[in-house]
Amino acid sequence: MTRSRLIDAGLAVVALVALAIGLVVLVRGPQVPAYAQTSDRQEVRSTVERFAAGMNTYDVTDLDPYVERMTPLMTDDLAEQFEVSTQDLLARFAAAKIVTKGTADEVAIDSIDGDSAEAFAAVSVATTPENVGYGQPRLRWRVSLVREGEKWLVDNFADVTVESAPTEEGQ
């Protein structure tokens, strides 16, 4: 055999071995137990529900319990940003004595793997006193989570813009 034929034969063997390994992996599927994936999904959903409802449930005259309740659900970086912004922003409304109650109406997981997840949350907010204008009565957020140890923590969240349905005049 010539040298080029030996190289061709070697490459053919490598290709066949790679194909066989690929087929085995394809047939066996992912090696994450189904219960683990279900458990992660439930934990992510639960964390997002607690976070979305909790972020919108507070009394501006008593912010310490709010911060204490929320920071364990967040990564250290987000918790630090949250503490600073909460004291600055919400304390400005103390005179109005605003009390809010958030409810996570729906949570949908967009993606999840072993150490990160993305989810969407639809949140309703009831405000007392009712005549105080408070943002949107229904919020939609994209929530990013990371796994730290055995816990899922919120790493970031942002509003999701929802387009209004076209009116008859706009059609």
- For the chain, the distance separating the N- and C-terminal CA atoms, rounded to the nearest angstrom, is 75
Which of the residue ranges 13-17, 22-26, 99-103 would you say has the lowest mean pLDDT? Answer: 22-26
pLDDT of residue 29: 55
**What contacts 9, CB < 8 A, 6 or more positions away?**
1
Residues 53-73 have a mean pLDDT of 91
**Quick one: which H or E segment has residue 106?**
strand 99-112
The dihedral region occupied by 149, where left means phi > 0, alpha psi between -120 and 50, and beta the remainder, is left
Judge whether residue 144 has pLDDT over 50: yes
pLDDT at 31: 47
Residue 15's CB is within 10 A of a number of other CB atoms, namely: 10
153 or 96, greater pLDDT: 153
Q: Who's near 79: CB < 8 A, 6+ residues apart? A: 70, 71
Q: What is the largest CA-CA distance in the chain?
A: 92
Contact 50, 72 (CB under 8 A): no
DSSP 170: T
Q: Which domains does the chain have, with CATH numbers?
A: 51-162 (3.10.450.230)
